[in-house]
Structure 1
Amino acid sequence: MNNTRNVIVMLLSLMGSPALADAMRCKNALITEGDSTAEMLLKCGQPLLREALNRYEQNQYGHVITVQYGERWTYYFGKSEFMRFVTVRNGIITEIENGPRGG
């Protein structure tokens, strides 16, 4: 009974999360997590959108400061393809996610 409940909880949690891609194809090239942004720009070109990933921290003086810890790049490959969301930290691809189909 406990195993069945654990499986159901796991399946429900997966349904609510975005689909992970781990890789994306740009024309005839494959980009994967761990590749550099330079390599991605050469193979895929400029993204449709670049967004800063920020978090708020308190410094030693008690002031809240904004710290940019990465970027999220959005690639659009056309109406019939999934958009791709690529998380970049320190010039390295750390995550690739499927977005909705282009529209």
Structure 2
Amino acid sequence: MSLPAHAESLRCVGGIAAEGDSRLSVAHKCGQPLLRDSYCAPVYYRNTWHLVPEPYASLHVPCQQVDEWVYDRGPGNLMATVRFRAGVVQSIDYGRTPR
């Protein structure tokens, strides 16, 4: 079970990673992740949960690149999943296993 976390941060040896940080910044602060995933997420209208319909989505903005990095924070700590959208940290979630 993963708990949603808003405006969370991730304490690392090289500093604190937070929303708005770049992939490069997180890699510098936290090192290489245990796991990585990358996929193309659907695009929604701004400030809504409504998908941009076809054919507009395919022609103009078919999807947005999302990267997820998982960090194992050691015994007794929950794993951290750092989600990047367009190369910037969108969220940091904690859970026993990656989602």
TM-score normalised by L of structure 2: 0.66
Q: Secondary structure at the match of 1:24?
A: strand
Q: Which moved more, 1:47-56 or 1:86-95?
A: 47-56
Q: Which moved more, 1:87-96 or 1:48-57?
A: 48-57
- 1:41 paired residue number: 27
More strand by share: 1
Q: 1:81 to 1:35 in 2, by over 3 A?
A: same
Equivalent residues, number: 82
- 2:73 paired residue number: 77
Quote the Cα distance in structure 2 between the aligned partners of 1:36 and 1:54.
18
Q: Secondary structure at the match of 2:27?
A: helix
**Greater Rg by CA:** 1
**Following superposition of structure 1 onto structure 2, how do residues 54-73 of structure 1 map, counting pairs within 5 Å?**
54-55=40-41, 67=63, 69-73=65-69
Q: Secondary structure at the match of 2:26?
A: helix
Counterpart check, 1:18 vs 2:14: no
Unaligned runs of 5+ in 1: 1-15
Quote the Cα distance in structure 1 between the aligned partners of 2:88 and 2:72.
20
Quote the Cα distance in structure 1 between the aligned partners of 2:79 and 2:2.
16
More helix by share: 1
TM-score normalised by L of structure 1: 0.64
Quote the Cα distance in structure 2 between the aligned partners of 1:33 and 1:100.
21
Q: Is the 8 A contact 2:14 2:30 kept in 1?
A: no
Flag as ranges the 4+ runs of structure 1 deviating above 3 A.
55-60
Counterpart check, 1:93 vs 2:89: yes
RMSD: 2.7
